[in-house]
Amino acid sequence: VHSKTLAELEYLHNTAIAVNATGKIVAIEPDHTSLDSALFSLLPKLNWTADSVSATSTASPSHFFFPGFIDTHLHASQYPNVGIFGNSTLLDWLNTYTFPLEASLSDPAKARKVYTRVIRKTLAHGTTCAAYYATVDVPSTNLLADLCLSAGQRALVGRVCMDQLSPSYYRDESPEAALSATMESIKYIEGIDPAFDIVRPVLTPRFAPSCSAPLLQGLGKLAAERPDLPIQTHISENKNEIALVKELFPPSATGAGDDSYSSVYDAFGLLTDRTILAHGVHLSEFEAELIAKRGAKVSHCPCSNSAITSGAARVRWLMEKGVTCGLGTDMSGGYSPSVLEAARHAALVSRHVAMGGDDAAKLTVEEVLYLATKGGAEVVGMEGKVGGFEVGMEWDAQLVTLGTVGEDGGVGDEEDGNVDVFGWESWEDRIAKWVYNGDDRNTRMVWVKGRLVHERK
Ligand code: GUN
Ligand code: FE
């Protein structure tokens, strides 16, 4: 099962997918009368022999392969704080909960513990690709990249830049210091994975309020010199944050034609087709059009936006403006490491937008799963490579099981799973039950680039 388009999932029954030794999908043999028939007609076409392949198959009608999830925005360094946000909102949440924790990860032993667990946990939830923020500390940011590479999780790994309006115990000492620390981390990550195969560095100005104009300018210059590097930041998440940006970056300071948040990034060359903008809750019409024109992408983080009361992003509206969107957990603004949970919340938040009077705002099960996979792939610059099952794409996938396998092999007899399947549900209904009630118990096996990276015993 995978997304064909935003509106449509494709259900390939009795289908064999061939993945070669480098993790690429080389053939798809769809719609046979049985799995055996699909498999055995696939092999001769590839000149493969049965004893040269290993096969994993769905064991019952409620088991299926689905593309791995893409988490387009999360803070690996904030994982210990999931669920801990009280009644805070963004700016006090940062000062109270977030900066002290991030600062403490300059302790290498603590960083190793946190990063090892966040990778294990997100893989267990089916996240095969993650756009991570680490911290300002270079060695532990580099350690995060090492750990992603060895665990086999695709990752964008960003060393966080912040040289103002942050506590003295946790900030870059100057724009120059921030830029040279950024370069140091980029060089290290390029060194461990020169092909950007599994891990790649990402330019990461935390958000406009915590970056001085010279720092944003320096990062914009670096982005222009290095068109291979993605960029990630936050935008228009919270009303007080937006007011702060207007105060800090008036048009006289940026040279922009107006005082919008998006224009600040644009003025410094950071609003590009490689830019991942987290949140975008309160964007104006003008900003959505500017973002679409520049080809920048939005990471929708519904769990976070509800938890720290930022607001309800209008995803339908953004997409209709031509903005590419994906989903982010935004741990630990968001309390859950699960992209499936983010998909569920995207559906619910869209219903809150609809209750405001725009019924067309509602997102379907198919649409939120698209955002979690193919949409996310486009957001992180990996469209055509991951996010779906097509020849030429890489095998980043999860085996999802609903119900439990009965003694007879499970046909129509799948009680006691966390998602009960009675046997009479259509495939569309099974997928809907998964989206609204599923969790990591349903994710049995996870692969990245053909490599098994998680198995739930
Ligand atoms: N804006 C600036 N930093 C952060 C962060 O760590 N999380 C979220 N959600 N918003 C931010
Ligand atoms: Fe965030």
Crossing angle of helices 175-192 and 138-151, in 10° steps, is: 20
For residue 329, the CA-to-ligand 2 centroid distance in Å is: 8
Domain span at residue 350?
Answer: 69-379
Nearest Cα residue to atom 9 of ligand 1:
333
Distance between CA 120 and CA 53 in Å, rounded? 28
Cβ-contact 356, 313 below 8 angstroms: no
Cβ-contact 313, 305 below 8 angstroms: yes
Q: Are residues 178 and 60 in the same domain?
A: no
Q: Report whether residue 366 contacts ligand 1, using a CB cutoff of 6 Å.
A: no
385 located within any domain: no
Cβ-contact 183, 217 below 8 angstroms: no
Q: Are residues 326 and 403 in the same domain?
A: no
Q: Are residues 371 and 236 in the same domain?
A: yes
Mean pLDDT for back-to-back runs of 10 residues, the chain (457 residues) = 98 95 96 90 92 83 93 99 98 98 98 98 98 98 98 98 97 98 98 96 98 98 98 98 98 94 98 98 98 98 98 98 98 98 98 97 98 98 98 98 62 62 90 97 96 94
Q: Count CA within 13 A, CB hemisphere, residue 223.
A: 24
For residue 314, the CA-to-ligand 1 centroid distance in Å is: 19
Distance between CA 84 and CA 216 in Å, rounded? 31
Report the relative pairing of strands 16-19 and 25-29 from DSSP bridges.
Answer: antiparallel
Q: Report whether residue 238 contacts ligand 1, using a CB cutoff of 6 Å.
A: no
424 located within any domain: yes
Q: Are residues 282 and 345 in the same domain?
A: yes
Q: Report whether residue 396 contacts ligand 1, using a CB cutoff of 6 Å.
A: no
Cβ-contact 135, 436 below 8 angstroms: no
Q: For residue 87, give the CATH number of its domain.
A: 3.20.20.140
Q: Are residues 433 and 372 in the same domain?
A: no
Q: Give pLDDT, residue 59.
A: 67
384 located within any domain: no
Task: Report how many domains make up the chain.
Answer: 2
Report the relative pairing of strands 397-401 and 443-448 from DSSP bridges.
Answer: antiparallel
Q: Are residues 153 and 270 in the same domain?
A: yes
Nearest Cα residue to atom 3 of ligand 1:
206
**ipTM rounded to 2 decimals:** 0.99
Q: Give pLDDT, residue 411.
A: 43
413 located within any domain: yes
* 78, 125, 197, 452 from 194: Cα distances, Å: 28, 28, 8, 22
Q: Are residues 87 and 58 in the same domain?
A: no
Distance between CA 5 and CA 344 in Å, rounded? 19
Q: Give pLDDT, residue 404.
A: 60
Q: Report whether residue 102 contacts ligand 1, using a CB cutoff of 6 Å.
A: no
Q: Are residues 177 and 249 in the same domain?
A: yes
Q: Give pLDDT, residue 406.
A: 54
For residue 39, the CA-to-ligand 1 centroid distance in Å is: 47
Closest CA to 80 of 337, 454, 441: 337
Q: Are residues 92 and 234 in the same domain?
A: yes
For residue 31, the CA-to-ligand 1 centroid distance in Å is: 46
Q: Are residues 402 and 267 in the same domain?
A: no
Q: Give pLDDT, residue 364.
A: 98
Q: For residue 403, give the CATH number of its domain.
A: 2.30.40.10
Q: Report whether residue 328 contacts ligand 1, using a CB cutoff of 6 Å.
A: no
Cβ-contact 445, 414 below 8 angstroms: no
Q: Report whether residue 234 contacts ligand 1, using a CB cutoff of 6 Å.
A: yes
Length of the chain: 457
Boundary (domain end) residue, out of 328, 348, 379: 379
For residue 158, the CA-to-ligand 2 centroid distance in Å is: 12
